[in-house]
Structure 1
Amino acid sequence: MKKTLTCLCLILLLFACKKDKNVVTPPVVPPVVVVTGPEFTEVKLEAKNNTGKITADVALTADGTNLKGYTPGTTESHSFVLTFKVRDAASTVKIGDVTQVSGVTVNDFTKPATYTITDSKGVSKNYTVSIYNFTGLPIFNITTSGPVVSKDDYVTGSLKVNTNGLFEQTTNDIALQIKGRGNSTWDMPKKPYRLKFNSKAKLLGLASAKNWVLLANYSDKTLMRNYIADGVAQSLNGDFTPHGIFVEVVMNGQYVGTYLLTEQVEVNADRVNITEMKASDNSGAALTGGYLLELDQRLDETNWFRTAANIPFTIKSPDNASPAQIDYIKTYIQDTENAIFGANFADPVNGYAKYINTDSFINWFLVNELFKNQDAANFSSMYYYKDRNGKLGMGPAWDFDLGAGNVDYSDATNPTGWWVRTGPWFNRLFQDPAFAAKVKARWEYLKANGIPAMYKSIDDTQVYLTLPAKENFTKWNILGQYVWPNPVVLGTYPREVAQLKQWLTLRVAWLDTNL
C-alpha cells in the first residue's frame, strides 16, 4: 500500500510539473493613475471676448508650464481677455493678488504674465502665459513721407517699435531718415535699408547710435547666413563683430518681410571702436589714426587708392580725409604690403608683424574661409582698421549672404578647396610657418568651441524662425524658384536650412583635414 501511494504521488507530481509549463502568466495591469492637482486643461483667446483685436479664436500651445499664443496680423495689441478651464473646478486662478475670471478679466501681455492656480487642497502651480503679435519677433512699423526708391537719397519718416516683450525699448517713436542700401541686393524685390535716426537711440538692447541696417537676405532662403556667421566671429572674439536681431518690417502699413537688424559699419565707440579723426589731425601721433578702410573693387568712396599689387582700398573714415591723412594711410598700407612680400617678411621684428595685428587677421580669415565667403576673396566688404599708434587690423567680418555655398558662379559653391587663403596677402602670410601654426592653433579653438555652438545656433534659429519664415515666404513666394545666385532650389524652408548645415559640416571636415 505504501509503495502504491508513493508511486501515485510521484506520478501526480510529474503530471503537475508538466502541466505548469503550459500555464500562461496573466499580464500585469498597471494601476490607474488619476491626475490631480492644479492644471489648465484649456487656454485660448476667444474672438467674442476680444472684439476689435482678433477675428478668430487663438488657441495657446503648451511647452510644460509655458503657454504661448500668436495673434494674427501685425497690428500692435497687448491687452487681452484669456478664456481658460482648470482640472479642479474649485481652483482659484490669480495673477499676483488679482483673481482671474475666465472670459472676463483683462490683462496686459506686453510682458509674459504668471498665472497661479491653487486647487481645493491648497496646492499651487505657476504658468507663464505669453501673447505675441504676428510671429513673435519685434515688429518695426516704419512710416515714410514718400516711397523709398533710392540708395542715395534719404526719405524722412518715423519708426515705431513693437518689441513683443522680448527687449527693453525706452524710445518707441523714433524720427528718422531712410534710404536703400546694398549693391546687387538693392536690385532684388525685397529691398535692404539704411536707417539714420535724427538723434542717437538704443534699439532692442543694442548700444545707442544713429545709423542702423536692415538686411533683407532675399537670396539667402535660410534667412540666417549673416546671423550664424556673426555668431562664429563672436566666438573668436573677432574685432568689432556686429550683432544681429531678427525683426518683422511693416512699411506704410504693408508687411515687407523678415529682416536682420544690425549695426552700420562705422567708427563709433560701440561699433568700430577706434579714434575718430578730426580734419586737423594732420601731424604727429594724431595723423596715425584711426582709419577705417574697405577693400572694395567697386571703388564707391570719394577717396581711394591701389597698392603696387593692384589691391583697391577705399577710405570709409575719416569721411573727408585731408591730403595729409590720405597720404599717410596710403603709405602705411603700401609699407605693409612691401613687408609682406619682402625677403625677410617672416622676421618677427621687421617683417609683416611690424605692421599688422596678426591675431586680428587670423580671426577674420577663419570665419570667412569657413563660410567660403564669395566677396571675401579680394572683392568687397573686407574691412580694415588702424587705430592711433596701432597696427593694421581686420574687421568687422561682414556680408555673408553669398557664403556657405550660396553662389552658382564660382568655386565658392563647393565645400572643398581654399578660397580666402589664395588671396595675395594671405597666400604669402601662410608661407610663414609661424603664421600657419597660429592659424592651426586658432582653428583647434574654434573647432572645440565656436563650431559646436554654430550647429546648435542653426537648429535653434530654425525653430525660432518657423513662424517668421512662413510669413516671409508667403509674402515672397520664392522657395520653389531660382533666385540669383542660388546653386539649388529646394522648395521648403527646412530643406534650405538642412542644406546649409550639411554644407558647413562638409566644409568643417575639409578644413580640419587641410589645416
Structure 2
Amino acid sequence: MKLRTKQTTQFLFLFVLLLISSCKKDPVVPPNPNPDGGSFAVDIGDSEIPYLVVDTKGDQILNEPKIPAELHLYIDKAEVLSTNIGIEYRGSTSYRISNKKSYGIETWDADGNDIDLSFFGFPEEEDWIINGHIVNLQDKYIFDRTLMYHYLGYQLFRDMGRYASRSKFVELEINGSYQGVYVFMEKLKRDNNRIDIKSLKPTDEDPDKITGGYILKIDKTAGGDLAIDQPLDYFDNNWQDDARYTPDISFRSRYDINGQPIDFEPYGPPYHSNQYLETYFLYEYPAADEITTAQKDYIQDYIDQFETALLTDDFNTDTRTYLNYIDLSSFVDFFIINELCRNVDGYRLSTYMYKDRGEKLKMGPIWDLNIGYDTGDRIPWDGWVINYNQYVSNDAWMLPFWWPRLMEDPQFRSALKDRWNELRAGTLSTSRILGIVDQTAGYLKDNGAISRNYTKWDIGTPVDYDGAIESLKNFLQVRTQWMDEQIGSF
C-alpha cells in the first residue's frame, strides 16, 4: 500500500511538471497531421535541408501589417516545431523587382502576442527573416545565382569575431506552393544575443543614460508609416517612398559627400536635384516613434562632433580627436568585409552602426549582400568600394565622406594592415574562404535543393550553378590577392 501511494505521488508530480513545462511557450499550433512529409509540395527525397511550411489559411500576405499564419518546421521530414506566426513581405527595391519574395515573421501565441522561440539552436527571439534571392521572370535576370552571398558574408563576419545574423538554409512552401531555397536569418535588432547594447527607454533622460544605446542606419526610408494599410499593388511602384526623409525618422549630416558644409535645407522632396549630396541617418533604435527629443539631440550632436573631428584632424600629426568618438577596430573590420565582398551597397545603404551607453560608435553588423562579389560590377574587381563616387556619378545614395577620409589617415591604414594580415593568416585565408564556398555549394547541390529551386524559378535559360560557383571562387581569389597587394603597400 505504501509503495502504491509513493508511485501515485511520483506520477502526480511528473504530471504536474509536464503540465507546467508545456505551458511555457503558450501556445504552439497542433502538429501537422502529415509528419512524414507526405503533404509537401515537392518531393525532397532524403534532403537534409530544413523544410518550412507556412499556412495563411487562405489569407493574402501583405507588405504590412503582418497577417496571422501557421508555421511548421521539418527536418529529415520529421516535424520538429510548429507555431503561430505573423508574416509579411519585406524589402523595398527587392520586393518591386523580384518575383521571389522575402518575408518577415514574428512568432506569436494564439492571441497574436509575441513569444520568443529558438530555431536551429539560435537564441530565442520573436523576430526573424526568410530571405530569398532576387529573381525577375519578366526581364529574365537573377541576383546571386549561388544563393550564398548573404550566408557567406555573414559567416565570415562572425568568424572575424563580430555579430552578424545567424543564418540557416531552408526550403520554403507557402499555402501548398513550393517557393525554393531561402536563408532563414535573425532580424537585426537590439537584443542581448543580437546587437548587444543597453536598452534606452523614453523615460531615460539622465545625461549618463542617454549616451546609449542607439542603433542608426544609412538607408532608404522604405515608406515608413505612409505605407501601412496601402493595397498590395501600391508597393509595385512606390519608388518615391524610398527617399521620403523627415525629421521624425531621421537626421541629416551637416556635411555633404565631399566633406563640405551643406548650404541648403534638409528634408527636400524625394529625389530632389541635390539629394545625392546628402547623408541621412535613420533612427532604428530607439524607434522613431519612441526616441525622445533629448535622445535625438544627443546622438545627432555625437555624430556631428565625430564628423567635424574627422574633417579637421591634421593627419600629419600624432593627434587624432576623431578616435575619441569611434571604435577603430569595428570600422576596420567593417571596411574589410565590405571590400572583400565588393558590396556595392556598402557604406551608403543597409549600413548599420550602434553606440552603447558610455562607449564609442561602432560599425555593423554587415547587412544585405545581394549585389556584390563577382556580380558587383559597378565597382571594378581591382577598385575600392569606398571610391564608389568615382565610379558612379548619378545615384540618389552616394557614399558618405567618412571612408575616403579615413583612408587618408596613416593610423587608420596601419590598423587596417595589421588586422588584414592577422585575418589572412587564418580566418580569411584563401583556402578557408573557398572551403566554405565548396562546402555550402555541395550541401545545396547534394540535397537536390539547387535543382528544385531553379525548376521553380525558371527564367527561360538554364542556370549554370557550377559555373556560378567557379565565378564566385575566382573572384574571391583575385579580390583577396589584389587586397593583399594594396594593403601590403601601406
Query: What TM-score, normalized by structure 1, do the two folds share?
Result: 0.69
Is 1:304–2:250 an aligned residue pair?
Answer: yes
Match of 1:419 among 348, 362, 385: 385
CA contact (8 A) 2:47 2:76 kept: no
Match of 2:281 among 313, 332, 348: 313
Match of 2:103 among 184, 189, 193: 193
Q: Secondary structure at the match of 1:375?
A: coil
Match of 1:77 among 36, 48, 59: 36
Question: Equivalents in 2 of 1:437, 1:297: separation in Å?
Answer: 33
Q: Secondary structure at the match of 2:374?
A: coil
Which one-letter code corresponds to 1:233 in the other structure?
F
Q: Structure 1 residues 332, 165: CA separation in 2 closer, same or farther (over 3 Å shift)?
A: farther
Residue number in structure 2 paired with 1:251: 174
Question: Equivalents in 2 of 1:299, 1:345: separation in Å?
Answer: 38
Residue number in structure 2 paired with 1:142: 54
Residue number in structure 1 paired with 2:125: 209
For residues 432-476 of structure 1, the C-alpha deviation after alignment (integer angstroms, 9 at most, x for no partner) is: 211101101111122222233211000011100101111100111
Residue number in structure 2 paired with 1:343: 313
Residue number in structure 2 paired with 1:293: 216
Match of 1:383 among 352, 358, 383: 352
Is 1:510–2:426 an aligned residue pair?
Answer: no
Residue number in structure 2 paired with 1:436: 413
Residue number in structure 1 paired with 2:87: 178
Question: Equivalents in 2 of 1:349, 1:138: separation in Å?
Answer: 53
Q: Secondary structure at the match of 2:126?
A: strand
Question: Equivalents in 2 of 1:148, 1:186: separation in Å?
Answer: 15
Question: 1:36-75, aligned counterparts within 5 Å?
Answer: none
With 321-330 and 139-148 compared, the bigger mean Cα shift is at: 139-148
Report which of the two has the higher share of helix.
2
Is 1:242–2:165 an aligned residue pair?
Answer: yes
Question: Equivalents in 2 of 1:335, 1:145: separation in Å?
Answer: 53
Question: Equivalents in 2 of 1:215, 1:444: separation in Å?
Answer: 33
Q: Structure 1 residues 299, 148: CA separation in 2 closer, same or farther (over 3 Å shift)?
A: closer
For residues 141-172 of structure 1, the C-alpha deviation after alignment (integer angstroms, 9 at most, x for no partner) is: 11114444432221110111112289x95xx1
Which one-letter code corresponds to 2:423 in the other structure?
L
Residue number in structure 2 paired with 1:453: 432
Question: Equivalents in 1 of 2:85, 2:373: separation in Å?
Answer: 34
CA contact (8 A) 1:140 1:247 kept: yes
Structure 2 unaligned residues grouped into runs of 5+: 1-33, 109-114, 135-142, 225-247, 256-277, 389-398
Q: Secondary structure at the match of 1:503?
A: helix
Question: Equivalents in 2 of 1:513, 1:249: separation in Å?
Answer: 43
With 389-398 and 422-431 compared, the bigger mean Cα shift is at: 422-431
Which one-letter code corresponds to 2:283 in the other structure?
I
Q: Secondary structure at the match of 2:345?
A: helix
Question: Equivalents in 1 of 2:436, 2:35: separation in Å?
Answer: 29
**Alpha-carbon offset, residue 345 of structure 1:** 6.3
Question: Equivalents in 2 of 1:246, 1:416: separation in Å?
Answer: 31
CA contact (8 A) 2:86 2:106 kept: yes
For residues 74-102 of structure 1, the C-alpha deviation after alignment (integer angstroms, 9 at most, x for no partner) is: x74189xxxxxxxxxxxxxxxxxxxxxxx
Is 1:328–2:298 an aligned residue pair?
Answer: yes
Question: Equivalents in 2 of 1:189, 1:299: separation in Å?
Answer: 18
Report which of the two has the higher share of strand.
1
CA contact (8 A) 1:299 1:314 kept: no
Residue number in structure 1 paired with 2:264: none
Question: Equivalents in 1 of 2:328, 2:351: separation in Å?
Answer: 16
Query: What TM-score, normalized by structure 2, do the two folds share?
Result: 0.72
Q: Structure 1 residues 348, 142: CA separation in 2 closer, same or farther (over 3 Å shift)?
A: farther
Residue number in structure 1 paired with 2:391: none
CA contact (8 A) 2:313 2:320 kept: no
Q: Structure 1 residues 248, 134: CA separation in 2 closer, same or farther (over 3 Å shift)?
A: farther
CA contact (8 A) 2:216 2:281 kept: yes
Question: Equivalents in 2 of 1:340, 1:299: separation in Å?
Answer: 30
Q: Structure 1 residues 132, 348: CA separation in 2 closer, same or farther (over 3 Å shift)?
A: farther
Is 1:471–2:452 an aligned residue pair?
Answer: yes
Q: Secondary structure at the match of 1:201?
A: coil
Residue number in structure 1 paired with 2:369: 400
**Alpha-carbon offset, residue 205 of structure 1:** 0.7
Residue number in structure 1 paired with 2:75: 163
Residue number in structure 2 paired with 1:492: 464
Which one-letter code corresponds to 1:365 in the other structure?
F
Match of 2:148 among 224, 241, 248: 224
Q: Structure 1 residues 173, 346: CA separation in 2 closer, same or farther (over 3 Å shift)?
A: farther
Question: Equivalents in 1 of 2:49, 2:367: separation in Å?
Answer: 23
Ranked by relative contact order (alpha carbons within 8 Å, sequence separation 6 or more), the top structure is: 2
Residue number in structure 2 paired with 1:363: 333
Question: Equivalents in 2 of 1:512, 1:360: separation in Å?
Answer: 20
CA contact (8 A) 2:58 2:175 kept: no
Which one-letter code corresponds to 2:468 in the other structure?
E
Q: How many residues matched?
A: 373
For residues 288-325 of structure 1, the C-alpha deviation after alignment (integer angstroms, 9 at most, x for no partner) is: 11001101144755510111123210010111211111
Question: Equivalents in 1 of 2:320, 2:376: separation in Å?
Answer: 40
CA contact (8 A) 2:107 2:117 kept: yes
For residues 106-150 of structure 1, the C-alpha deviation after alignment (integer angstroms, 9 at most, x for no partner) is: xxxxxxxxxxxxxxxxxxxxxxxxx98563210111111444443
CA contact (8 A) 1:235 1:446 kept: no
Question: Equivalents in 2 of 1:387, 1:345: separation in Å?
Answer: 28
Q: Secondary structure at the match of 2:190?
A: coil
Question: Equivalents in 2 of 1:400, 1:132: separation in Å?
Answer: 28
CA contact (8 A) 2:171 2:182 kept: yes
Question: Equivalents in 2 of 1:465, 1:76: separation in Å?
Answer: 23
**Alpha-carbon offset, residue 275 of structure 1:** 0.8
Which one-letter code corresponds to 1:304 in the other structure?
S
Structure 1 unaligned residues grouped into runs of 5+: 1-74, 80-130, 482-490
**Alpha-carbon offset, residue 415 of structure 1:** 1.3
Residue number in structure 2 paired with 1:268: 191
- Identical pairs, percent: 28
CA contact (8 A) 2:92 2:222 kept: no
Q: Structure 1 residues 233, 348: CA separation in 2 closer, same or farther (over 3 Å shift)?
A: farther
Question: Equivalents in 1 of 2:166, 2:319: separation in Å?
Answer: 36
**Alpha-carbon offset, residue 420 of structure 1:** 2.4
Superposition RMSD in Å? 2.3
